[in-house]
Every structure is written in structure tokens, then in C-alpha cells.
Amino acid sequence: MSGKENSRERLIKTASRLFQLQGYHATGLNQITKESGAPKGSLYYHFPDGKEQLAIESVQLTTAFVSKQIEEGLNKSTDPIEAIQLFIKDMAERFERESCTVGIPIAAVALETSLISEPLRASCQSAYQKFQSAFTEKLIQSGYEEKHAMELGIVINSMIEGAFLISFTMGKSEPLLLVAKQIPSLLK
């Protein structure tokens, strides 16, 4: 791996973490370069379109990471109800272990930029569609009709996203666990 690839990856990973923790507007390029350890010149070399381009690539990195977690979680059981519940419970456990030190993967960027940046809005939309698709595919594989599975995928992802937000405000994972508890009622 070349030094350029290494600094580029460090910039994206650092930006992703900071955008999740602080939001888009509260995260400056100087902070990103300082915390990543990458030379400031590499920021402009790798991201000539600036912060927006870096944010889009950060969202894409986060999307890939979260999608993999969802897919791995859903593969723990062939039963969709059990699989979704296990996934949510695993998220709640991680939330408790990490003591609320990580942000909601896409929400901060989506909320802050969707009305002012079409490229970032589209990137966040793509992320949420990928998350929803994982739930949809699990339901289709389990015999749910495609249209109904798509609707449920959106609802499940929305419930999880909302529960994460409320968990952060409460400082505990109880909302996530309540969502897990309601999955059987939703999927009956």
C-alpha cells in the first residue's frame, strides 16, 4: 500500500468517525487532518472538491461497514424474526459496551446536509436504501411478498434508527431493546 493510499484511508476513517460524533458542520478539515496524522496537502490532493467529497466518501465507508454488520447479524438465524431481534440486541450490547462513544452512522450528516447538498443527500439516501435492502432481502428469502418485504424493510430500519437516536438521548440501550421486543408483532 502506498503512502498516498494510506493517508487517504486515514482521512476517510477519521472524517467518518468525527462526522458521526460531532456532525458535519462541527467537524473542520484542520481537525480531520490533525487527528488522522495525514499531511494537510494530502487532503486537497485526494479530495480536490473539499469537505463535501470527503463526507461523501466517509458516508460510503460507513455504509459498507454498517451493511456488513447488518448482513452478518441477519445471517445468525434463518428465522427472520429471530435474526432481526438478535441483530438489534447485538447493537444494544455494543451501545452499552462502547458507552455511547460512537455516533449514529449516517444520521448526523443526513440531517445537517440533506437540504443544502444534493450529492450528500443522495449519498445518505443510498446508505439507508442499502440498510433497508438487507432487511427486505431477509424477509423475501423467508417467504414474504416483495412489496410487503420492502415496506417492512423501511419500517424496521426506521425503527432501529429512531431507537438509536433515543438511546443516545437517554444514555442507555432500552429503546433498542424495545424495538427488538416488538419485531414479532410487526412481522406476524
Q: Is the pLDDT of residue 87 over 70?
A: yes
pLDDT for res 99? 62
Q: pTM for this one?
A: 0.88
Instruction: Kindly list the distances between the CA atom of residue 111 and the CA atoms of 2, 20, 32, in Å, as whole numbers in the listed order.
Output: 35, 11, 20
Place of cell 431507537: 163
Q: Does 2.60.40.3140 match the CATH number of domain 52-187?
A: no
The C-alpha cell that represents 18 in the structure block: 468525527
Q: Is the pLDDT of residue 2 over 50?
A: no
Q: Is the pLDDT of residue 101 over 60?
A: no
Of the pLDDT bands very low, low, confident and very high (cuts 50, 70, 90), residue 102 is low
d(CA 98, CA 81): 26
d(CA 146, CA 165): 29
pLDDT for res 8? 93
Of 1, 77, 4, give the one whose Cα is nearest residue 46: 4
100 phi-psi bin (left φ>0, alpha ψ -120 to 50, beta other): left
Place of cell 484542520: 30
How many secondary structure helices (H) and strands (E) does the chain include? 9, 0
